[in-house]
Structure 1
């Protein structure tokens, strides 16, 4: 298999593009931001968390995002997977490490 090993910066750029293409229901005065200090890094990839910029700055509930599941980026092949919110993040990561399918969480 082809192994490309994205850098952290490349993986973050990919995550920003994927999130922006998926999450489109923000008010015009707001924008999405990646919460860099929350990023989880593994040898095979990274998990990026994101939110509304206005929510992050003000904690005003009217700007909170609903269901903003974190995005996993596999550095080995550039695959992206939005994780779920029903289980702890570690459960999705364990399943991804075991089966390459974060949704197989039991």
Structure 2
């Protein structure tokens, strides 16, 4: 089981990859972190408020594997959490990142 600290480090690595792709500095809004029995859900955005992002929905870092599951942006976060928990929502293949593969 990963600790909160280990999951946050994975989240920061994931954000760094996104940051490099779009060339905008990003931050995790740690005060918005949702702690679940299966992992932590993080929200993020641009460090500089002059930027607006599209597609930067919250993401889950699983505490058993460290896998990152990107949630969508077209619905409320509760939609994705409920669907993830009851198995009715599955991430797309490009919505999963394995920090152990990079």
* Fold in common (TM above 0.5): yes
What's the counterpart of residue 40 of structure 2?
46
Aligned residues: 91
Residue 81 (structure 2) pairs with residue 97 (structure 1): no
Larger Rg: 1
Partner-residue secondary structure (3-state), 2:69 = strand
In the alignment, structure 1 segments of 5+ residues that lack a partner are none
Q: TM-score, normalised by structure 1?
A: 0.75
Q: Determine if contact 2:60/2:70 at 8 Å carries over to the other structure.
A: yes
Superposition RMSD in Å: 2.0
Partner-residue secondary structure (3-state), 2:64 = coil
**Residue by residue, what CA displacement relative to the aligned partner does 1:33-84 show, whole Å, maximum 9, x if unpaired?**
11011111111111111111111xxxx3xx1222211111111221111100
| C-alpha deviation, 1:100, in angstroms | 8.4
Q: TM-score, normalised by structure 2?
A: 0.77
Q: 1:72 to 1:85 in 2, by over 3 A?
A: same
In the alignment, structure 2 segments of 5+ residues that lack a partner are 93-102
Residue 46 (structure 2) pairs with residue 71 (structure 1): no
Poorly superposed stretches of 4+, deviation over 6 Å? none
